[in-house]
Structure 1
């Protein structure tokens, strides 16, 4: 009886092995592997994204031409002519003032980027949505159509530029050959005419963007509950009413993603224009990304001013990204 009481008052000690059951201590090798898996991508991100972005912000306040030291001292003569390289020095907001008031290509570039955005929203996005809805209905040969429409997205932009250059060529292009405008006296210069070249490039970009939007909408339609569509049909709704009042509101998260992607794609438009113009500035094809490239790696080598244009483009791009993040985090808080 006494021994039983002692056992009750002094329970047997739990072995250390049983106490540590369920916990796992990382070995030194595991810690090094985890540090490498996290550290290497972080270093690459800092080196190729954040450091260039911060460097561009700092250089945007200078008149650095890429040669010589960058002296962070205020410029005394602020009435210099644009385009004339000045010694590197802190130039305050004069670069931004020149971008908005003096630089001749800035506002045409902003206008062309805005046109690019409107064409993507009003033409490429509805086309991609239409393709997705038709293919989602399971028509005959839908997989073939889906592959053909998505093919421009998989092709490189350089190849797309070459394909459309053959289509737009004044002498032997497909369009002029069909129209019978291949003679020297009645040629249509689709890429050289400032009134036509932007719309010609937008046709190329829309051809590619519509396939990308189609894939995003197809992903949303595959996750759509068909019972909602069947219930709407039972209630007497037409196909058009079912789509706009039932399907489209459910696709709201996809719509936000597509809107953000569309804005970013229209702002960073560069490749097709650069390939078409072969690196030379063409009238009618001014874009913010082209202006940045011409000032940083062009003949003038105005790295400070080019960085200013890059910062302006960065700030404009951050607006849709911030809206997207705000909507995402607000949705998570509500959930």
Structure 2
């Protein structure tokens, strides 16, 4: 079979490999679609401290069951499934308290286990043990199902930030995650959703698809001023920074209304992880600042339901559909910002 294996930053090889066989407590999939994301770009350029090469990468996975281990129950050949990326241990104190996204023992598909940029994939027992293999609902394509993983992360972030009925929501960053945030905020009943982006071309491309109530180009106008004008000086109920930008995080506090919630959804570069936070804004305006780290198996299941019911459409966010041999081009497209979502069919 063909696999895309990461060896070192800049060294991603399309190789022939032996077709894997599942252990008694594992499931084997034929990968039908594996979407790419900014994390794949980071791995390609810099590696990752959890990833010991060589490793098959790719973690936004949808496929078809082709074999099950003899001890596996509930799954059959031909089942259409989506695989979680972040794998909680299910046993630690955080998992037992219902917070698997902050599990200190978390492992990841495409990091600790071989991922989805391959013709076949073994779903490890750790994934099955936490109900991390989800059935794809009827009417949902493999490509759409592969987008359930990033949507699950977005769902987690909006749950933590309490996005709800009547909210004015600002999403900073018009990449695929920002687009999903716009769509999910609408599905959760937001009154208005404003999209902020520095890159004019990227803003125009994404806004044409997700149609925010306002599209604000931060390189052309003062985004904070624009948000305040649109909200009659009040600010937004929720500000989500779907960009790896310290400036965006600092501006988010100035965009927020009194009692507003700010989600630091996008992490910052490892060499620049700090910002200057105006503590008095948090104090006197009673602001809440929350983080968001990945998703749980339940979030993935919910994401598939949102796609299946049409509450969060994702098919039109997939701007490029490539084959495994074109993975370097897929990564280039993601890095360039010329695409919204790029899927790969092994």
The TM-score normalised by the length of structure 2 is: 0.20
Higher share of residues assigned helix: 1
Structure with more relative contact order (C-alpha pairs < 8 Å, separation 6 or more):
1
Structure ID, larger Rg: 1
Higher share of residues assigned strand: 2
